[in-house]
Amino acid sequence: MTTKPGEYKGTGDYIASADLQNIVNVAVALGRPLLIKGEPGTGKTLLAKSIADSLGLQLIIWNIKSTTKAQEGLYVYDTVQRLYDSQFGGCDVADIKQYIKLGKLGEAFAADKPVVLLIDEIDKADLEFPNDLLWELDIMNFYIPETKETIAAQNRPIVIITSNAEKELPDAFLRRCIFHYIEFPDKAMMRQIIAVHHPDLDQILLGQALEMFYTLRALNDLQKRPSTSELLDWVQALALGGVKPDKIATAIPLLGVLIKKDQDFATVLDQLHQKGSGDKAPTPYGVHNR
């Protein structure tokens, strides 16, 4: 809380919409965690990196897995090592401090400069996980009973939290956050994004590819719709493979880069090529193959 970070304006390699930029600045100024949701591949995780780059701060990433406990973000007390040492010697067992390892949140608090802390995919963890962090994120310190130490943040870290909406987050947690939903980019925005990654792309090829991409995304019943990162790979593959732009509309070359599931393949071919020609009556239920 001693040094004030500047204003976030997006970075060269990350296109942030004006409202997103403003929301980031609001969250920073109010000292609230910023919760980012959105379809996979809309750049939720990259946002944190962009913020860190733009403000010139260090980025600490805490990847959440289904087994992650809130406590691990604060610190871990390596009791097994201590037990081991007590038996086989080596270290001074009385010095508990050496068995306390700060977690990512602890690291962010202990840093002497403000940092950007990314809590990635918070919804992967147990349902109670966000609630367990409430207090620490609110008052920005925690107590280690083993060493009777309090780790307090010297500078309030900028906390970015991403969620894929796999689980509902608890209300108490949501109340404290600023929320932003990253929408899937429209064509114009997508052009900008692609230009950042592949500046030398043939415009006609790009136009055709985008056309097909958005057609694919609009199809019903796709289990996994292609996302931005897949489109980026696809246009690169198209350019490298020297595919003629007019081929894209008719044959969809390298479809495997966009569509990753067998069923979706079938759906795409079905809906694009047999449109209107003798539709079979759809069966109401899928085949049960458990």
Q: Residue numbers of the site for another protein (CB under 8 A)?
A: 7-10, 17-19, 21-23, 25-27, 29-30, 32, 35, 37, 79-80, 83-84, 86-87, 165-169, 171, 174-181, 183, 223, 282-286, 288, 290
- Of 30 and 110, nearer to another protein (C-beta) is 30
Contacts of 5 (CB under 8 A, 6+ apart): 28, 55, 57, 114, 158
Amino acid at 128: E
Least Cβ distance, residue 76 to another protein (angstroms) = 12
- Of 143 and 181, nearer to another protein (C-beta) is 181
Question: Residue 152: how many CB atoms within 10 A of its CB?
Answer: 12
Least Cβ distance, residue 49 to another protein (angstroms) = 18
Least Cβ distance, residue 254 to another protein (angstroms) = 26
Phi, psi values for residue 89, rounded to 5°: 70, -165
Least Cβ distance, residue 67 to another protein (angstroms) = 10
Place of tokens 């230009």: 195
Least Cβ distance, residue 150 to another protein (angstroms) = 24
- Of 18 and 94, nearer to another protein (C-beta) is 18
Sign for the pseudo-dihedral over CA of 222, 227, 233, 239 = positive
Task: Compute the distance between CA of residue 1 and CA of residue 204 in angstroms, rounded to an integer.
Answer: 51
Least Cβ distance, residue 290 to another protein (angstroms) = 6
Residues forming a β-bridge with 131? none
- Of 174 and 204, nearer to another protein (C-beta) is 174
- Of 83 and 204, nearer to another protein (C-beta) is 83
3-state secondary structure of 11: strand
- Of 33 and 73, nearer to another protein (C-beta) is 33
Amino acid at 124: K
Helix and strand numbers (H, E) in the chain are 12, 9
Phi, psi values for residue 259, rounded to 5°: -110, 130
